[in-house]
Amino acid sequence: MESGGFGLKRHLYLVPQYMHYQEYHEFTLKAKEARERIESTLFFAAIIIVLCISKSADYWALINSESIDVYSNTFVWIYTAAVCTPVLAYLLWLKRPLSEFGVTLHNWKQAVTESVSISLIILLLGLFALILIGKSEGKSLADFIRTDWLRIGAVAYIPHSIIQEFVFRGILLTTLIHLFRWHSLWLPLLISNLLYSFMHIHLGINAVALTLLFGYLLSWLYLRHKNIVGVSLAHMLLGSPAFLLGVL
């Protein structure tokens, strides 16, 4: 009886300790989630502010100076650097592995195969449509080629594509999914792709519409593969011809 009583007392003594541990564990999890939401919100706000400032500067420069070439490498890289500044600060603050933001070779073979295949199909359909448009206007496909972009922007477009995918798909989309995880997926997709298309507003309204649709395709590929390898290739394969042929 004494050993049984001792065992019961010991059990009753451990119950509140276990409950305290559970409560503490739940509290730390909630505190971590709250901190991550605050970090995500601050990052999202920083991106919005930088985009608004940079677009306002673009608009002012285009109105007040006719000599600015929005297709030039200088313009593109200055704008990219402005957008990347809060991103780099955000990553340094978080101190998380880059693999969480798509910088990984995990599942890269499937990503490359599917992204290249889909891109080539879209590219062929786009070229066919452009040929038909050219015939209706009495032009050949060669008449659409912008040799100035081929000379200046082709090489720079490779790292530029990778950086854009890392920022808008790897970091921004991932952050928004975490921030709005109690909602459905459509809200993070809508916000991230609106911001991505807004980044191209200096190229015109048509460019905004095309990049919005393009962004949804890239977002789908990224969520499917969980790396930026495939989406970066798709960005290069579809974006380069779009600039080369004057679609953007």
Q: Which is higher by pLDDT, 49 or 142?
A: 142
DSSP string, the chain: -HHHHHHHHHHHHHHHHHHHHHHHHHHHHHHHHHHHHHHHHHHHHHHHHHHHHHHHHHHHHHHH-TT--TTSHHHHHHHHHHHHHHHHHHHHHH---GGGGT-S-TTHHHHHHHHHHHHHHHHHHHHHHHHHHHHHTT--GGGG--HHHHHHTTTTHHHHHHHHHIIIIIIIIHHHHHHTTTS-THHHHHHHHHHHHHTTGGG-HHHHHHHHHHHHHHHHHHHHHSSHHHHHHHHHHHHHHHHHTT--
Please give the distance of CA 77 from its chain centroid, rounded to a whole number.
17
pTM for the full predicted model: 0.76
Average pLDDT over residues 89-116: 88
Closest CA to 217 of 199, 198, 239: 239
Residue 203: pLDDT band by 50, 70, 90 thresholds? confident
Average pLDDT over residues 230-238: 95
Gap between the Cα atoms of 146 and 246, Å rounded: 6
Gap between the Cα atoms of 50 and 236, Å rounded: 25
Average pLDDT over residues 91-104: 84
pLDDT score of 2: 47
pLDDT in tens, 112-137: 999 999 999 999 999 999 888 888 88
- For the cut 90, the answer to whether the pLDDT of residue 185 exceeds it is no
Identity (one letter) of the amino acid at 159?
A: P
pLDDT score of 195: 87
pLDDT score of 230: 95
Average pLDDT over residues 7-31: 56
pLDDT in tens, 48-66: 776 676 666 666 666 665 6
Gap between the Cα atoms of 150 and 17, Å rounded: 70
- For the cut 80, the answer to whether the pLDDT of residue 182 exceeds it is no
Q: Which is higher by pLDDT, 96 or 190?
A: 190
Gap between the Cα atoms of 40 and 25, Å rounded: 23
Question: Tokens 């080539």 label which residue?
Answer: 120
pLDDT score of 17: 54
Gap between the Cα atoms of 22 and 14, Å rounded: 12
Instruction: Provide the residue ranges of all domains of the chain, joining segments of one domain with +.
Output: 2-244
Asked if 58 and 203 touch (Cβ cutoff 8 Å), the reply is no
Question: Tokens 């890239």 label which residue?
Answer: 218
Average pLDDT over residues 42-52: 70
- For the cut 60, the answer to whether the pLDDT of residue 91 exceeds it is yes
pLDDT score of 154: 67
Average pLDDT over residues 35-54: 70
Q: Which is higher by pLDDT, 162 or 35?
A: 162
- For the cut 90, the answer to whether the pLDDT of residue 21 exceeds it is no
Q: Which is higher by pLDDT, 182 or 25?
A: 182
